[in-house]
Amino acid sequence: MSVILCTAGYDHTIRFWEALSGICSHTIQHPGSQVNRLCISPDKQFMAAAGHHTVNLYDIKSTNLTPLLTFEGHTDNITGVVFDCEGKRVVTSSEDGYVKIWETRSGTVQRTYSHGSPVNDVVIHPNEGEIISCDRRGSVRIWDLAEGTCSHELIPEEDVSVSSVTVASNGTLLCAANNSGNVYVFALIQDCHNSQLLPVTHFSAHKEYITRILLSPDVKKLVTCSADHTAKIWVVADIDPSIKVPVVNPQASSTPHVLLPNTINNSTIGPNASTSPDPNDNQPKDPNPKNVPKLWPLEAILTGHQRWVWDCAFSADSAYLVTACSDHYARLWDLHSQQLIRQYNGHHRGTVCVALNDYSESR
C-alpha cells in the first residue's frame, strides 16, 4: 500500500480511500464513539483512532477490522494522537487536561503530563526529545522528555484557547493558532539540552476559529483550517534575524513564560500594558519598521467547503492537501493549480479528521 488515506468523524466509521480514484476501499466501524483524530504510523503498519475516552490501534495490513489494542486511561475527549518516528510510542492529548505517552505494542502509559486545563493538540518535536501541546486556557507547553518537566510555557493571548500547534519537519519553526483566528510563529533554536524559542511573527489569518494549523513537509507552506468554511495556504517567509518581536515575562517562575504583545488589533496584552498615550505617536513613522511582525504571504484560499474545515494532511512532496469538512466530504487539492481534483463522498455525518501517508517505504 503505497498511499494510505483515511478519514473519520461523527458517523462512527473510518473509511479508507483510493486517493486517485476517490473509491472507498474499505470501512472500519468505530461503534464506541465518534472519531476525533487519526494518525498513521511512519511504517504504515498501524493506524491510531482517537475517540471519546480511548484510542484504538489497528493493523492496517491485516484483514481483521477489530482493534489490536485499546489505549484506556483518559477520562474525556481525546483531541490529539501522534506516533513517534519509529512507531514505538504514541502520544495523546485530551480534554481531561493530560498529555500521555503510550508504548505502542503494549498500550501501557509511560508518562503523564498535566496542563490543568483541557488540552487541544499535541505534536512531537523531530528531535524526539520534546513534545509540544496547547490548551484551552491559552498556553503552549514544551515538555522535556529527558527531564520529565515542562521546559517552556508560551502564552500568545491570555485566556484565548490555542486550538492547534505544528512543528517544522526540520525542527526550525513552531506555529500555534487560536480561537481568535490568529497565528503565532516561533523559531526553534536547538542547544545541547533542548529548544530555545525566538518569537518571529504573528498575524490574523481568519476572522473565526482556526481548527487546525499544519506546516508542509518541505516547510514552504502553512495551512490554516477554519470555522469560516475555508482553508488558507500561507507562504512560509524566511526568518529575518534583525526582526525582534518584543517579549514580556509576566512573572518570575520556574517555568519560562513568553507572552507576546498582541499588535494584531493595535493593543497590548499583558501586565505591562499601558493605556497612556505614546509621546512618539506624532513623530514620522518609519515606512519599514524593524520591530513590526510581518504577515506571511497568502498564497491561496481553498473554497467550496460548506461547513467548518476541521483537519488537513499534506502529501509527502507537499504538492497536495486533503481537507476534512463537517459537510461530510473530504477533498483533495492540487496546491500548484489551487484546484479541487477529487472529492471523497461516503460519510453520513461530519468528517472531522484525515490521515495521509504516502511516504516511500524506505524512509
- Sheet with 89-94, strands from edge to edge, namely 78-83, 89-94, 98-103, 109-114
Q: State the pLDDT at residue 284.
A: 52
What is the distance between the alpha carbons of residues 165 and 176, in angstroms, rounded to a whole number?
Answer: 4
DSSP state of 151: E
Give the pLDDT confidence of 78-88 residue by residue, as tens digits: 999 999 999 99
Rounded CA separation 62/64 (Å): 5
112: Cβ contacts below 8 Å, ≥ 6 apart: 98, 99, 100, 101
Residue 61 has pLDDT above 90, yes or no: no
Predicted pLDDT at 260: 56
CB 168 within 8 A of CB 189: no
SS3 of 330, please? strand
What tens digit of pLDDT does each residue of 225-280 get?
999 999 999 999 887 554 554 443 333 344 555 555 444 443 333 333 333 444 44
Residue 45 falls in which region: left (phi positive, over 0), alpha (psi -120 to 50) or beta:
alpha
CA 23, CA 128: separation in Å to the nearest integer?
A: 36
Percent of the chain topping pLDDT 70: 83
Residue 211 · residue 181 · CB < 8 Å: no
Q: What is the mean pLDDT of the chain?
A: 87
d(CA 178, CA 161): 6
Nearest to 174 by CA among 127, 209, 211: 127
Q: What is the pLDDT of residues 187-197, one digit of tens each?
A: 998 776 667 88
Main-chain dihedrals φ then ψ at residue 124, nearest 5 degrees: -105, 130
Confidence tier at 1 by pLDDT (50, 70, 90): low
